[in-house]
Amino acid sequence: MTAPGSGGAAASKPSSRAPAPSTAWRERVGDDEARRHEEYARLFERLQQAKSRRFGNGRALHRKQVLALRARLEVPAGLPAHARHGLFAAPGAHDAWIRLSNGGTDRAPDRRPDVRGFAIKVLGVDGPGALDGARTDCQDFLLINHEAFAFPDSRDFVGLVSAAAGGPLALIGWLARRYGPIGALGRVAHLRRVFGRPFAGFAASAFHSAAPIACGPYAARVRLVPAPANGPASRGADWKADVAGRLAKAPLQYELQLQFFVDEAATPIEDASVNWPQDVAPYVTVGRLTIAAAADDPEFERRIEDAVFDPWRALAQHRPLGEVMRARRAVYYASQRTRGAAGG
């Protein structure tokens, strides 16, 4: 589930007056959550089946894979104590798989406005997992090119996606019923701003978890920031060619960063529409991701297309937090099962 919000990708400037990261975060699970999330899973299952009849077997969301890549994640020494948990507990290097994607339910042209996804599967991990404590051999990060979600929780996002699948008239009808005629106009304008924001390409854009994960006893959001050496914003709309062309000249590098919870007012766990302020909660670099070359390997591309990328494929030390992430657990599993990848 990848409903975006708004905001730029300016680099964080830590303030000496910023409060220290806190472990006083809490999740609030609603009494109706389990029922609602199962309903969402069934809804997305039906949507996915309909789209698969049209486009071939695939995911409910982020159906169009732009590029599959191999990468290397290096965790440096000397991280602050609050960051040294799970994957970042000790310095080291890990191989990783990358799946770049367009976020929609269709296999649409790259020129169409959309959410863009940057999924990372860090390999060579071993520890108790976020899914019921079973051990995991990977740590997945699912990032989008927006800092926050368009809605506080999953309710309206699910309604939006379901309505949009029926076409523009169905979407307008849902917005009018949900927000009233005047409110619907405001939501349409907001969605146009969000989805119409120019995309700089996968090499020059920052990507965000938008919702938090645990970092040991702390909570944090994740960001991936491109190195200036990756080059300027793309002027085209063929994202695969753009990345491959840059990799033909030099590796691409990114900084993996964490932004830590400080208090419920500024950095809420359950409201995914709030963009945590960087002057209050500055980002901390915890790794460097390097993509050395384009894979140019059809078999590897098929393997990544068939693989599972899921924020709940994670160490228990990095379990996803908040209602949006809990909804994704049910919806992503249903999507994996529907396309025959639940064990992937």
pLDDT in tens, 100-118: 999 988 999 998 889 999 9
Three-class DSSP category at 220 = strand
The secondary structure element, H or E, covering residue 37 is helix 33-55
Q: Where are the domains of the chain?
A: 33-338
Dihedral, CA atoms, 79, 82, 86, 88, nearest 10 degrees? -10
Chain-centre distance for alpha carbon 55: 23
Kindly report, residue by residue over 234-290, the tens digit of the pLDDT: 988 899 999 999 999 999 999 999 999 999 999 999 999 999 999 999 999 999 999
Spatial distance between the Cα atoms of 314 and 320, rounded to a whole number of angstroms: 8
Beta strand 116-128 with 207-208: parallel, antiparallel or unpaired? unpaired
Cα separation, 138 vs 67, whole angstroms? 20
pLDDT the model gives residue 4: 58
Judged against a pLDDT cut of 50, whether residue 10 lies above it is answered with no
User: How is residue 305 written in tokens?
Assistant: 């297309």
Q: Give the Cα separation of 115 and 101 in Å (integer).
A: 9
Candidates 2.60.40.10, 3.40.50.150, 3.30.565.10, 2.40.180.10; CATH matching 33-338: 2.40.180.10
Question: Which pair of tokens denotes residue 121?
Answer: 């599967």
Dist. CA 322–CA 132, nearest whole Å: 17
Which range is least confidently modeled, 132-141, 190-199, 324-333? 190-199
For residue 183, count other CB atoms closer than 10 A to its CB: 12
pLDDT at 226: 98
Whether the pLDDT of residue 79 is over 90: the answer is: yes
Query: What are the angstrom distances between the C-alpha of 236 and each of 2, 121, 249, 271?
Result: 24, 27, 18, 35
Q: How far is CA 128 from CA 104, 229, 269, in A?
A: 32, 37, 23
Which residues make Cβ contacts (< 8 Å) with residue 62, sequence separation at least 6? 2, 101, 102, 103, 104, 117, 119
Distance CA 214, CA 85 (A): 9
Label residue 1 by pLDDT band (50, 70, 90): low
| pLDDT given at position 11 | 43
Residue 12 has a pLDDT of: 46
Q: Please measure the distance between the N-terminal and C-terminal CA atoms of the chain and give it in whole angstroms.
A: 19
Six token digits for residue 278 = 């960087």
Q: State mean pLDDT over 86-91.
A: 98
The predicted model scores a pTM of: 0.91
Q: Where are the alpha helices (DSSP H) in 98-225?
A: 154-164, 168-195
